[in-house]
Amino acid sequence: MKISKAVIPVAGLGTRFLPGSISIPKSMIPVFDRPPIHFCVEEASKAGIDHIVIVASEGQHAVLKYFEERPDLEKAVSDKKNFEMLSLLQEISKMADISVVIQKEQLGLGHAILQAQSSLGNHPFAVLLPDDLILNDNPTIGGMCSVSEQTEGMVVAIRQVSKESIPNLGIVELGQDYGRTVEILSMIEKPSLESAPSNMAIVGRYILPAEIFENIRNTSPGSLGEIQLTDSMTALLKTTACTGYRFPGAHFDVGTPLGMLEASLHIGMTRYGFDFEQSSLKRNRNYL
Ligand code: G1P
């Protein structure tokens, strides 16, 4: 079935970005020149997903405002003959049909997804986490939509991670391997190194069937005392297959200031051909 809706949860407190995130939602702090949520909406839109449900907390008005038309800014850049920026501004407000639901309490990723249920109906849908920035002209979520059309099961993006990262992520156990895709036998959220079934982690892109909501409702708080999506998916694995998707492209964890710096440098250097090795930035370590 074609995936036409996606959920983007952004209600977290963004404690790793304090004090910057006191008054600016984490998903709105720019990576180089545009916020993480921009990349997610753009990725979904390129994949043909035309309705996006943002799960935000009270007071995160800046998130919705970002996607509204801004005739004043359009006029200002047009007066300056910056037609490239004019068309970017026009594209942003047209990328997708966006609605917002409010998550009153931050009880975990599973709980955040549950808040979007009434906006999604009884169809499979995509989830994109803005903390995971993936740069690729072919949208990762689009590749995953194609897989789900064939398997009609769950799909998660996966990648190999360092030992140090394992206790911070969802880790999967792999089964039959087909190269780009692989069967997922089990998954565990933020395991200890001893209990981790592999070094392959879930990256924040999912295709989920509507049955996940029932499983989220029945999920008790798990790792960090939160209702974890990984635990709800584990329960659903009893009846519904899950495929891991090894995605091409550059991936950055922009959920940490250092990851965001790395992504910003990558984007800036790629866009402007900036020679990092030769730059004063590299020589003057105080900058970094
Ligand atoms: C969430 C998921 C985790 C996944 C990670 C990817 O964790 O629960 O399974 O590996 O996103 O970014 P969080 O970053 O919310 O702790």
| DSSP 8-state symbol, 191 | -
Which residue matches tokens 């920026």?
Answer: 85
Query: Is 280 inside any structural domain?
Result: no
Q: What percent of the chain has pLDDT over 90?
A: 89
Nearest CA owner, ligand 1 atom 3: 170
Question: Does residue 221 form part of some domain?
Answer: yes
Q: Domain range for residue 88? A: 5-271
Question: What's the pLDDT tens digit per position in 117-170?
Answer: 999 989 999 999 999 999 999 999 999 999 999 999 999 999 999 999 999 999
Inside any domain, residue 230:
yes
The number of folded domains in the chain is: 1
Whole-angstrom distance, CA of residue 39 vs CA of residue 49: 14
Share the mean pLDDT of the chain.
93
Find the helix or strand (DSSP H, E) in which 108 lies.
none
Atom of ligand 1 nearest to the CA of 203: 6
Closest alpha carbon to 92 in 33, 25, 158: 33
Is residue 79 scored above 70 in pLDDT? yes
Which domain CATH number covers 104?
A: 3.90.550.10
Look at residue 47 and tell me if it is in a domain.
yes
- Span 96-100, average pLDDT: 94
Cα-flanking dihedrals φ and ψ of residue 197, to 5°? -75, -10
Which structure tokens are listed for 49?
Answer: 């997903």
Closest atom, ligand 1, to C-alpha of 230:
9
Out of 92-96, 155-159, 258-262, 281-285, which region has the weakest mean confidence (pLDDT)? 281-285
Residue 202 CB–ligand 1 contact under 6 Å: yes
- Asked if residue 287 has pLDDT above 50, the reply is no
Please report, for residues 13, 90, 103, 110, 277, the alpha-carbon distance to residue 113 in angstroms, rounded to integers and kept in the order given: 16, 29, 9, 5, 42
The mean per-residue pLDDT over the stretch 175-192 comes to 97
285 within a domain of the structure (yes/no): no
